[in-house]
Every structure is written in structure tokens, then in C-alpha cells.
A = this chain, B = another copy of it.
Amino acid sequence: MDRESKVSMTVIRRLPKYYRYLGELLNKGITRISSQELSKLTGFTASQIRQDLNNFGGFGQQGYGYNVEDLHKELGIILGLDKMYNAVIAGAGNLGQAIANYKGFEDAGVKVLSLFDKNPKMIGLKIRDIEIRDVDLLSQFIKDNDVEIGIITTPKDNAQEVADIYARSGIKGIWNFAPADLIVPDDIVVENVHLNESLFTLSYFLKNHPSFDTES
């Protein structure tokens, strides 16, 4: 399947939501679910759900619905959560430290090996067991440790410089928290977390007072 043309971003972004809902159903001991029931849970139409999942395989059976455990496991594989990734964090300020402790990494098979910073007061400190190293050592560390994910929690003016180091050192994917548009080679994935844009959207709706969730 030629994924680049067949599966759109909007479909792909629904997958982690399905994964989350199915995880919650699993925790509740629910073994089976229909697309109608999934529709009530997720807010997506039953038809949309079936179409989305059909992009990835023949899940579900007419009259039975979906087996929750199997579908959850399959989605986990599709999302690549079964693979282990080594990661580093550049920018050991409050946000970087918070992300170093982020529980979601375990669920995604991501292991943060080190933080990096240029501030001498931070270098040598430890966040739980994770050391803060001098950013001068970043490139070599990535190569020595087969690091595939580079996280950026620097101020925006340092973000591109870090992205450049990541790009030339073998990083394959960047999780970027800095409010900057990164320029990287085409074969590197960039996922941005736009905290400012999220907060400003909240501010817009507080001012304009609609009666719906900002995701609708």
C-alpha cells in the first residue's frame, strides 16, 4: 500500500484516539465492541470508524464487531508502539525535565537516555536517573547510542540549531515543543506540540464563548 497517498493525516491522527479508547475498554474488561458503540465513545461516525480501520486491515466481523484486545494490539503495532526507541532531550529547563518524566514514553516504547543543555549549572545534574550532559556532546551521544528520537524543549531561538545537530547525527524523528518551524531533511519526521497555539485557541474561545469542545 502506498501510504503516502492512500492514508490521510486526518485518518492517521484518529488512530491514537482509537488506541486510547480501546485501552480504556480493555481496562474495564470489555472484550468486544461494535462500530456503533465505538461511535458513541469516540464521537466519530460508525461508518468513519469502519473506513479508517479498513485502511489498515480486515479487523472486525459483520455481526460481531471488533475484538477489543486484538484491535488494541493491532493498532499498537500500526502505531509502532511495539518498537523500542532511544530518545534524547535538548533543553533541560522545566519543560524538558517534565518531559523526561513523561509517563507516555513507556506506552510508546520510548526510552530517554539523556538530557542536554548548554547551561553549566544544569550540566551534571540528574533528573531521576537521567543525566544532563553538555550539548557539545549531543551529536556523538546520538551516534554512540543509536538514538532515533530527538526532543526539543529549548527556547525557540535555539530550536533550529538543535534540529541541525539532530539531522546530521542520525536522528529519525523530532518531537518539537519550541514554537518554531524547523527546517530538516525530508526523511526526518517532525511532530510539533504547539503549546502557544493551544493556549491562544483557548483564549479565543473564552472571548467568543461558543458552547462546544474546541475539537468539534
Contacts and interface: CB of A to CB of B under 8 A. Distances in A.
Interface stretch (A28-36, A115-123, A162-170, A196-204): A196-204
B104 A201 contact: no
Contacts of A173: 202, 205-206
A190 interface: yes
A97 B95 CA distance: 9
Nearest to A43: B181
Determine how many copies of this chain the complex contains: 2
A144 interface: no
Interface in A1-43: 3-4, 9, 12-13, 15-17, 19-20
Nearest to A80: B207
A199 B187 CA distance: 18
Contacts of A89: none
Contacts of A194: 16
A199 B104 contact: yes
A60 B56 CA distance: 46
B200 A16 contact: yes
A191 to B, nearest CB: 4
6 contacts: A4-B210, A16-B200, A104-B199, A189-B206, A189-B209, A192-B214
A-B residue pairs, 9 tightest by C-beta: A80-B207, A98-B98, A16-B197, A16-B200, A191-B202, A94-B98, A80-B203, A189-B205, A186-B211
